[in-house]
Amino acid sequence: MSSTIEYLENKQDIDMCWSRQTGMRNSFGKPYGRAARVFVGQHIINVRTKGNFVSHAKEALRRAKNKLSGKQLIQESTIHEFTKMTRDEYQNLRSENRLLVRGSCVSVVKEKGSIEKYKERMTKALE
């Protein structure tokens, strides 16, 4: 019997506790989440995808921008992947075998320097 009475007393204490906590929770002085300061014209996210999935990526970004405050624009870039060249420049250099693949980026084999180093770079680009 005594254990049942203790259970009821504890339950009443819990109910009283909840009734006392009224008002705004986490209202001042406590960090609730994280935020990033974004400036006008700053890129928020870049998505890299194949050409046939561009429409799906645009739709995903359109849905994601509704979750953020402010005005966001969705733009398709003319720059090829994460390089600093356009798609046409990339295709021309690739057809000439003058690109060195370095992970997710590429570098251009330039025609300057010693002939031995140029030959080394060209053989790496042809592999």
Q: Is residue 29 pLDDT above 90, yes or no? A: no
Ranking 7-21, 71-85, 103-117 by mean pLDDT, the lowest is 7-21
Query: Domains of the chain: which residue ranges?
Result: 42-76, 80-127
- pTM higher than 0.85: no
Q: In this predicted structure, what is the pLDDT of residue 117?
A: 84
Q: In this predicted structure, what is the pLDDT of residue 89?
A: 93
Architecture of domain 80-127 in CATH? 2-Layer Sandwich (3.30)
What span, in angstroms and rounded, lies between the C-alpha atoms of 4 and 8? Answer: 6
- In degrees, rounded to 5, the angle at the alpha carbon of residue 36 between the alpha carbons of residues 69 and 32 is 85
